[in-house]
A and B are shown apart, each in its own frame.
Chain A
Amino acid sequence: MLSREPRARARRPYDFFNRSYWFRRVDLHTSGDDNIDLRRHGVLESDGEMVCRARAGDAAAYGQLARRWAARVLAVCHARTGDRHAAEDIAQEALLRGLRGLSSLADPEKFGPWVIGIAVRTCLDWRKSPKRNEVSFDAYAGADVTDNRAAGSERREQAERLTREVEQLPEAYREVLMLYYYQRDGCTYSDLAELLGVSSATINARLTKARQMLRQRMMSEYESQR
């Protein structure tokens, strides 16, 4: 059955070959070494090590931390606001606050949960802000140039429909679903469990329920269109 213990995935020698390799590859490549032999770097640098480098003045470490956590920060912001465009601004702000406030982080290894906490608080600020009641980007039909370019693509439309349905799920379920699919490669239940402060079994249950609700919603939509 599912392990309830967080996996020491970055430490295990074979882990170099797992699907999160691509995720690490980007980090390693940004070191500036053109001829880096990734096989010599089979172990992923931890968040704590990156935070320490950043605090010591290594500017590259900031970029690596931001790239490592951007997808999950953006996922939380999207889930909490239900507005993907507002989420981009909030996620950028949260990452910026996190990077600028590294000196106040007590446990460098907890950078991820810490920056997610900042994102949650930034979302709360946004919710309280009167500006959130301004007309949303989404309110203007056809305003999204990127999406419009592919307006003829049926697949794109299906993806858009599915994303909208995910946005309609209850927050706890859309949050776990977005966290999972924003960074599908390399994302494990134990990662999400640590971020959300729940067990891996709860993540499994929430993902299962979210998918079930999503199927029902899609089915209802399909039935209503017939």
Chain B
Amino acid sequence: MNCEEAETLISARIDGELSASDPAGVALDGHLAECAECRAAENAMSMQDAALVRAFARERRVADAVAARAVASMSTSPSTSMEQRGSARRWVIGLAASVIAASALISVAMVWPGHREKTQQATTPPATQPAVESVAQVAFSTGDVFTCPSGKTDEWQPVRAGAAIATGDRVRTSSAARVELVMADGSQVRLNGETEATLSGERCVELKQGQLWSAVPDKAQPLRVLAVPDAAARDEVTVLTPPGARIDFRCEPGASVLTAVGGSLKVTDTRGAEAHLSTGNAISLINGLASARSGTSDVLLTTRWLNDLLLLKGGNDPEVTARVTELLKRIDQENPSTQPTAGVVAPGPVEQIVRSQGERWSNPLACHVRSPESLDDPSARVTAARLLADLAPPSAIADLIGLLSDRDGKVRFYAATALHRLTGQTLGRTPAECSTDSPATAAQTQRAWQAWWDRQTAGGT
């Protein structure tokens, strides 16, 4: 074997295409034992692979957003062209660079979501009008979610992800259900269990009962949320979610609580009095009348019900990534000790939230540990590994093996602990030993585990 062939095989091994028992792998090991240049190349290629994984982490997250936008576009006008969006983005940047204010203003108008929809509506043939009437699409749902068409009283039909919601449609969730609706401009409305809301227009949602969360993108038009728990009593409350803001609104007959999850917003009570809230503020509304501010709210706990929806999006979703980072930060504050321990140490309320949902957090936690951004906060990274040690299911074994050569000894400890829990094996290195191993020994341990795992999985064929 010459060095050129060896380099091709090293590349294949790094990519997981060469099993330990493969004769070519054995030959490669023989070559590496004799060739210092190829050993150095192997080391450099491993480092390069890790750097490329980090470098493309952002692109992987962007891909999820591209998929969501493509699906959302399906329910809107067919004339949403690439050229229009591409030039729109460039116009926005042109605005930042340009000093020609008049032409820049026209450019902004061209990309303003409301304007775009009007343009599409005007150019769309009458035959496609029903598609244009849909104001939102079910992006994610869990549990039983139903819609009732506008004008009907009790014709509830089950809906699933991808369904279009038309103007005037009512949406209802069962007790353990959650649903996320996405509008054409990217605004999101999420409903908790036992909630009923009506999409009464492009920018208006009426909340009859239950709990709603909404977010409006930076450059979209504001979204109006009307809380109408008792139409007869006329205790209507209006909440305006401005661009860039997020709200959580729990509406019950007689009493409602509004929380500003992000940004500033305005609420108008039934007598017309206005109150302004900023991030973290919450206000109670009794019979439609705004009471004194109830002070700050623990946004993470108030919106814990969103976790069920976020967990559907996969560990690379930007919002899930941010959520995991926030959860880990809070867990660290609850339990600042980061010493590796095999047992669970009195979990605080935030950690209990994660543990109560068990292995469903395993994927986001594993993604966090693997992400380059997590290296900025080693403590949170160790916390993620500690939770993985308890929560990871057997399907995470391959990922856990990958963590056995992590640069952080505590991460290696928890990876080895998880592997021991899942397989009953230590392969000669206890978790405590793994945590103090040199990089070379850690790599050796990882290879031993990988070879063992290859044998186990090969047995299934």
Which residues in A have some Cβ–Cβ distance to B below 8 Å? Answer: 1-2, 12-19, 21-22, 25-26, 29-34, 38-39, 58-63, 66-67, 69-71, 73-75, 78, 84-86, 88-93, 95-96, 99-100, 122, 126, 129, 131, 134-137, 140, 143, 146, 153, 155, 158-160, 162-163, 166, 177-178, 180-184, 188-189, 200, 204-205, 207-208, 211-212, 214-215
Contact = CB atoms under 8 A, between A and B. Distances in A.
Nearest to A67: B67
A160 B51 CA distance: 11
B22 A95 contact: no
B163 A92 contact: no
B89 interface: yes
B56 A89 contact: no
Q: Which of B51, B62, B73, B140 has the most CB of A within 10 A?
A: B62
B82 A189 contact: no
B52 A181 contact: yes
A85 B163 CA distance: 29
26 contacts: A1-B24, A12-B460, A14-B456, A14-B459, A19-B16, A19-B398, A29-B312, A32-B143, A58-B162, A59-B160, A60-B160, A62-B74, A67-B67, A90-B82, A91-B70, A92-B69, A92-B70, A100-B78, A134-B87, A136-B90, A137-B93, A140-B96, A160-B55, A184-B53, A204-B8, A204-B12
Given A32-B161, A135-B94, A74 B59 contact: yes
Interface string B125-139: 000000000000011
A162 B66 contact: no
B162 A59 contact: yes
A89 B85 contact: yes
B151 interface: no
A99 B71 contact: yes
Nearest to A150: B373
Contacts, number: 236
Interface residues of B, number: 89
Contacts of B315: 22
Given A96-B70, A159-B51, A63 B161 contact: yes
A17 B395 contact: yes
A91 B90 contact: no
Contacts of B393: 38-39
A14 B161 contact: no
B461 A60 contact: no
B255 to A, nearest CB: 28
A61 B67 CA distance: 12
Nearest to A177: B52
B15 A189 contact: yes
A74 B16 contact: no
Interface in B404-461: 456-461
A74 B25 CA distance: 33
B85 A12 contact: no
The 9 closest A-B CB pairs, nearest first, are A59-B162, A14-B460, A70-B67, A93-B82, A95-B70, A71-B63, A26-B314, A66-B67, A159-B55
Contacts of B7: 208, 212
Contacts of B460: 12-14
B234 interface: no
A188 B176 CA distance: 38
B140 A62 contact: no
A129 B86 CA distance: 12
A181 B54 CA distance: 9
Contacts of A131: 83, 86-87
